[in-house]
Structure 1
């Protein structure tokens, strides 16, 4: 074992493609278990299918563009680092803020659903106590070590994918097109736009792989593999689960629940069926995979922004024993706790999605800027069909953002108020005039080589 440049802000390079696949799918897979069905309420089945296809196109073009940034600048800050390098300090702050909102609020949204699944299985157990307990457990696991938590991600993600395949196998024979096409677009095309943020939930957080870029072995080769395998897996699961679930019963009965899949299984097999209870029990795996992954990704974002001076420096401290950013993980947990006590699943989900689409926009703008600003930058994975793919991703992201603002005024107000406060503090402290050292921001520090 060779040690190079060990200090208190270094992370271990231990992750392989299978870990990246597991982290990416694990981050997202809860989106197949809940949240997306809320889109039916505002659009109907066909309206939501159209919204999902639009969002799927956005993610395909986004990932095949974003991977250029991830492999060219393998930094734990992700979009924050790319925007800083392309646009400057203000751009970095906006992208960093949006990414924090994306991941920090995805965690409590998933925790709410975890609590709902436990409550479905054991009505005597409240939703909130379960959500808080899961938060604490996975904060501790993430502090313990990235390799250990990544190995856990592989195990739990394989179980979650297997369960969704089992779900499709059980409900598939009971699919009825008459159910699926019943009142398919009750709100017309306006419903399609209203459903876009819920369709984003199918894929939200896949970009979180960028947050562990400094912990990947041979990132320029392995990160593209991880992204591509994960995206293919998620597209198949999202479309399969959504379509089959919509045809087993009156979809309106499932459009307001935090546990649509167990309910769909109970329609097919009966609530008293042992398989129904078993499915609800193992359904926790998908949600566990995602809450674990969002805690991992959000902590790396806090760590990277703190290391670069955008957040208190103490949050960039790495545990000498476990080599993980323990204070960054704990602060993210505190924010999740506050959100659980003050919001609903739908509100928190919309806020998370809003952060995501702003981050996507900032990333694509950064890609275009860096192509002009640094034409000689080493690009191990060039954006596919440049400039068409990044342009498509940017336009659809902008449409999603405008849609969220139109249909969710108060949540949007909270998002922009937070951004305005962050910008005000940033400028008052003179950070917008401060250049971050190149070896700290533009070139991530050397990690421990195992």
Structure 2
């Protein structure tokens, strides 16, 4: 196993992210475009019992983030979950986790980037389709890439501003809409089947996912033993409460019309605030996705940096800018990949595959948290310890298994193919990595 204590590229990164900056990053990449669309999907699956899916997701994520909090307080390397799993189980399993991490971030970022282009096109028809769409995506991804190359502080500051901007219309809908909710629209008619709840919850994971990408810049976080667990718990409690409140207000305002509606929150805002409210939510959706793209542009390229640093991908990806001290090659490479996927792929398929990869990655990280505690790995300072640490990781795994029970055979086949290709890449690069080992 490689030495995780010294490294030329790693040591040159600046530790500038604190509790509030990291928490804002988690909220920013978690509250993306999904919450503006997924309430209608949950209602289609479960009707008025849809809040059950949010509760299942919240319970599962609560168990999972406890494991992330402990693992993140014990490992301070860039790569987040990739680094946690590698330190716990060695380079091969760590590499597979790193590939899953990058796949999750890339698919999710590409899906939301495509939705962002659609949303902007709905507001400004001149930017719909063709060359205008390409120019829009290149401009947005290029701008965010340039900001993040300029420095981690600049990227974090933009994320904090975007987080505040995206939350305002959502909070306004909840505050104003709660007074117009019709109680009858919230009444349950039938108890949903367990399989339906699992499928709806697995789909809603897209709205809860993001923590795994927000933690990738661990090598640029101050005092990880204190910062990571506090930021995770602060962000996830707020996100869960907001999601449940949003769905209940939308369901209470729209009733049966919520199921299948393409713009459910904008329609709900229109019911209570008129055309101005509807436009405000449409603009809010665009801002939210714009902020998500910014947050993920900060986080996802660090996975490429980590894979390049370790010799699995070209080492040029681990280059650090001589002046800004940021992984500039990885940032620009990731931007090009996302633009290509956003221009050629659809949201739904990308979201489903991202969810499957996310759940597999979460399972690996839960096991890693248990193993890191068993090995007493410490990054400096006193690590956070999960209450009931011997049991919580396995409860989290049980919750993940329940969500995975709804995944189709075709979706499993796609995930399996990705892991097989990753394993081949690992062994093909073995000799090159031995001849030129990564210095970390």
TM-score > 0.5 by shorter chain = yes
Structure 1 residues 133, 44: CA separation in 2 closer, same or farther (over 3 Å shift)?
farther
Instruction: Say whether 1:296 aligns with 2:298.
Output: yes
- SS in structure 2 opposite 1:247? helix
Instruction: Say whether 1:112 aligns with 2:114.
Output: yes
Distance 1:353 1:266 in 2: 31
1:444 corresponds in structure 2 to none
1:168 corresponds in structure 2 to 174
Distance 2:384 2:235 in 1: 17
User: Structure 1 stretches of 5 or more lacking a match?
Assistant: 441-450
Q: Give the TM-score normalised by the residue count of structure 2.
A: 0.89
1:393 corresponds in structure 2 to 396
Q: Deviations over 1:86-124 (max 9, x none)?
A: 222221122111111111111112112222322332344
Structure 1 residues 7, 87: CA separation in 2 closer, same or farther (over 3 Å shift)?
closer
Instruction: Say whether 1:13 aligns with 2:21.
Output: no
Instruction: Say whether 1:39 aligns with 2:45.
Output: no
Q: Deviations over 1:151-173 (max 9, x none)?
A: 11111112222221111123222
Distance 2:288 2:242 in 1: 12
1:413 corresponds in structure 2 to 413
Instruction: Say whether 1:151 aligns with 2:153.
Output: no
TM-aligned CA deviation for residue 132 of structure 1: 5.1
Which residue, 248, 263, 267 being the options, matches 1:263?
267
Output the aligned Cα RMSD.
2.6
2:3 corresponds in structure 1 to none
Matched pairs, number: 427
Q: Deviations over 1:184-227 (max 9, x none)?
A: 66x73332121122221221012333212211222222222211
Which residue, 314, 329, 332 being the options, matches 1:330?
332
Structure 1 residues 126, 82: CA separation in 2 closer, same or farther (over 3 Å shift)?
same
1:317 corresponds in structure 2 to 319
Q: Deviations over 1:256-284 (max 9, x none)?
A: 52x432232123334xx233323322332
Q: Deviations over 1:166-185 (max 9, x none)?
A: 11123222222333447666
Alignment of 1:167-206 (within 5 A): 167-181=173-187, 188-206=193-211
2:359 corresponds in structure 1 to 357
Q: Deviations over 1:109-142 (max 9, x none)?
A: 2112222322332344316544554333322322
Which residue, 340, 357, 368 being the options, matches 1:366?
368
- SS in structure 2 opposite 1:201? helix
1:79 corresponds in structure 2 to 81
2:385 corresponds in structure 1 to 382
1:89 corresponds in structure 2 to 91
| Mean Cα deviation higher: 187-196 or 286-295 | 187-196
Alignment of 1:271-286 (within 5 A): 273-286=275-288
| Mean Cα deviation higher: 422-431 or 161-170 | 422-431
1:236 corresponds in structure 2 to 241
Q: Deviations over 1:56-100 (max 9, x none)?
A: 111111111211111111111112122222222221122111111
- SS in structure 1 opposite 2:157? helix
User: Structure 2 stretches of 5 or more lacking a match?
Assistant: 1-5
Q: Is the 8 A contact 1:8 1:319 kept in 2?
A: no
Structure 1 residues 99, 6: CA separation in 2 closer, same or farther (over 3 Å shift)?
closer
Alignment of 1:211-250 (within 5 A): 211-250=216-255
Distance 1:53 1:412 in 2: 25
Q: Give the TM-score normalised by the residue count of structure 1.
A: 0.87
Distance 1:194 1:436 in 2: 46
- SS in structure 2 opposite 1:238? helix
Distance 1:306 1:36 in 2: 39
| Mean Cα deviation higher: 103-112 or 412-421 | 412-421
Distance 2:319 2:433 in 1: 25
Distance 1:348 1:201 in 2: 10
